[in-house]
Amino acid sequence: MRIFNRIVIILLLAGLFVLGVLAVLYSVGVAGYRLAELPLDTFSQNLIRAVRNIETGNLHVLDVGGLVIIALLGLVLLVFELKPPAPRRVRMQQGTYITRRAVENEAIEAVEQSPEVLQSSVNVKAQRKPGAKVNVKASIRPGEDVGSTRSRVQDRVQRRLSQVGVPISNLKVRLVESDPRETRTRVR
C-alpha cells in the first residue's frame, strides 16, 4: 500500500506544482494571456460556484457526500502510510536476526524427517517481537493418523527451531492427504 500512497501523493504534488507555475505565469503576464481569457471558463465557474457554496454552507447532498468520501480516502491512505512495514528478518534475541529463508529451510528439514510426510511447504512471517509465525503444509499418505502425525511434526519443528535459537510465537501445521504418486518426493 505504501507504493500506491506514494504514487498518489507524487501525482497530487506534481499537479499542484504545474498549477502553481501556470498561475504565476498567468499572473505576471508572461504567457500573454490573462486568467479570465483561459478556455476553462465553465470549469472555473463551476469550481468558483462550488467553493462559494462551501463557504456559505449551501451544499447539495452529493457535494457533502463527495467531500466526505475524499476525507475518508485521505484518512485511510494516511493510516496505511503511517503503518510500519512488516519486518524482513526474524528476530531471535536482542539484536540478533535471521532471514526468513533460513527459518524455512530449518523447518523443512524438521518436517521432512518424518517418514509419514511425502512433501511439505513452509511459510514464515517475521514479527516485530522476537519469534516468527510458521505455517507448515505437509502431504501425507491417505489413511495415516492425522492427529498423531500433526503432533509429531509440530514437536519436531519446535524442537529443531529451538535448537537453532528461533522462538516460535505461532506454529500451524496443516496436513493434506495425497496420493504418493502425485507428490514430488518419492515413496519411502
Name the fold adopted by 89-182: Alpha-Beta Plaits (3.30.70)
- Rounded CA separation 63/42 (Å): 18
Statement: the pTM of the whole predicted model exceeds 0.85 = no
Q: What is the largest CA-CA distance in the chain?
A: 85
Residue in 134, 127, 48 with CA at minimum distance from that of residue 91: 127
Average pLDDT, the chain: 80
Domain ranges across the chain:
2-82, 89-182
> Would you say residue 135 has pLDDT above 90?
yes
The model's pLDDT over 71-130, given as tens digits with 9 standing for 90+, comes to: 888 788 778 777 777 788 888 877 788 888 998 998 988 888 888 888 888 999 988 888
Q: Is 22 helix (H, G, I), strand (E, B) or coil?
A: helix
Mean local confidence (pLDDT), 141-170: 86
